[in-house]
Structure 1
Amino acid sequence: MTSHILVPLEDADLATEALEYALSTFPDADITALHVVHPFEADVDPEVGFSGPWDGDWFETATEEAEALLERARHLADERGVALSTAVELGRPARTILDYVEEHDVDHVVVGSHGRSGVSRVLLGSVAETVVRRSPVPVTVVR
Structure 2
Amino acid sequence: MYRDILYPTDGSTGSEAAAEHVQDLASSFGATVHVLHVVDTPHGGLGRSGGFVSDEFSSMSGRSAETGYEGMEMSDVDDALMEEAEAVVEEWAAALGDVETVTEVEAGSPYSEILRYADEHDVDAIVMGTHGRTGIERYLLGSVTEKVVRMADRPVLTIRGNESG
Name the amino acid aligned to 1:14: G
| Equivalent in the alignment of 1:33 | 35
Name the amino acid aligned to 2:41: P
What are the within-5 Å matches in structure 2 for residues 1-143 of structure 1?
A: 3-27=3-27, 28-40=30-42, 51=69, 55-78=74-97, 81-143=98-160
**For 1:117 and 1:105, how far apart are their aligned partners in 2?**
31
| Equivalent in the alignment of 2:58 | none
Q: Following TM superposition, where does structure 1 have runs of at least 4 consecutive aligned residues deviating by more than 4 angstroms?
A: none
TM-score under structure 2 length normalisation: 0.74
Shift, 1:73, TM fit: 1.2
**For 1:108 and 1:37, how far apart are their aligned partners in 2?**
21
TM-score under structure 1 length normalisation: 0.85
CA deviation digits over 1:74-94, x for unaligned, max 9? Answer: 22123xx21111111111000
Contact 2:15 2:129 in 1 (8 A): yes
Shift, 1:20, TM fit: 2.0
Among all aligned residue pairs of Structure 1 and Structure 2, give the percentage whose two residues are the same amino acid. Answer: 38
**For 1:74 and 1:106, how far apart are their aligned partners in 2?**
17
**For 1:139 and 1:124, how far apart are their aligned partners in 2?**
21
**For 1:90 and 1:70, how far apart are their aligned partners in 2?**
14
What's the RMSD between the two structures over aligned residues? 2.0
| Equivalent in the alignment of 1:46 | none
Unaligned 5+ residue runs, structure 1?
43-48
For these two proteins, the number of residue pairs brought into alignment is 134
Contact 2:4 2:31 in 1 (8 A): yes
Name the amino acid aligned to 2:132: G
Name the amino acid aligned to 1:8: P
Contact 2:9 2:35 in 1 (8 A): yes
**For 1:128 and 1:97, how far apart are their aligned partners in 2?**
10
Contact 2:32 2:99 in 1 (8 A): no
Contact 2:2 2:124 in 1 (8 A): no
Shift, 1:18, TM fit: 1.1
CA deviation digits over 1:93-120, x for unaligned, max 9? Answer: 0000011111110110001001112111
